[in-house]
Amino acid sequence: MDLELRVKLAVYAHFAETGRRPSAADVASRAGVEAGEVRESFASLRSKRVLVLEADGASIRMAPPFSGVPTQHEVTAGGVSYYANCAWDALGIPAALGRPAVVRSRCEESLEPLELAVSDQGPAATDWVFHCVVPAAKWWDDIVFT
């Protein structure tokens, strides 16, 4: 397995197990590589739109569907609490984990809270909806805004 793939899998395994972003040192330890190699891999994974990094180049802002920072979209699964980057990613977390979850978020207009159970068959029946203002061709122009 090549270095970059080991780093990517270590990042995602850390998120899946803890719900929080790993430090570069966490990833180095888990992947069995040097810290410098982790930073090089992070930069490469950023260029391939696998990770979104903070300005320091070492802190993970996004490993979609997981968010490295708290957001309004919280997901609980298997006793672990996660943050999602957006509404799409809030359903992406149970899809990635392959386990039932509860999504907690809100209506952006009314601020009414959303609590949505998601099984392996998908979300419970609901008339809540999803809306995105950014066209697909522009999503990665500013992925944090998207």
Among the listed residues 96, 99, 100, 102, the single contact to another protein using CB under 8 A: 96
* DSSP, res 50: S
Token pair listed for 11: 């990042």
Regarding 129 and contact with another protein (CB under 8 A), the answer is: yes
Distance of CA 120 to the CA centre of its chain: 19
Phi/psi for 28 (5° steps) reads -60, -45
> Closest approach of Cβ 120 to another protein, in Å?
10
C-alpha pair distances (Å), 16 with each of 6, 66, 112, 130, 137: 15, 9, 28, 25, 29
Cβ proximity to another protein, 53 vs 90, nearer residue: 90
Residues within window 70-89 making contact with another protein, judged by CB under 8 A:
73, 86-89
> Closest approach of Cβ 41 to another protein, in Å?
15
Cβ proximity to another protein, 55 vs 121, nearer residue: 121
Regarding 50 and contact with another protein (CB under 8 A), the answer is: yes
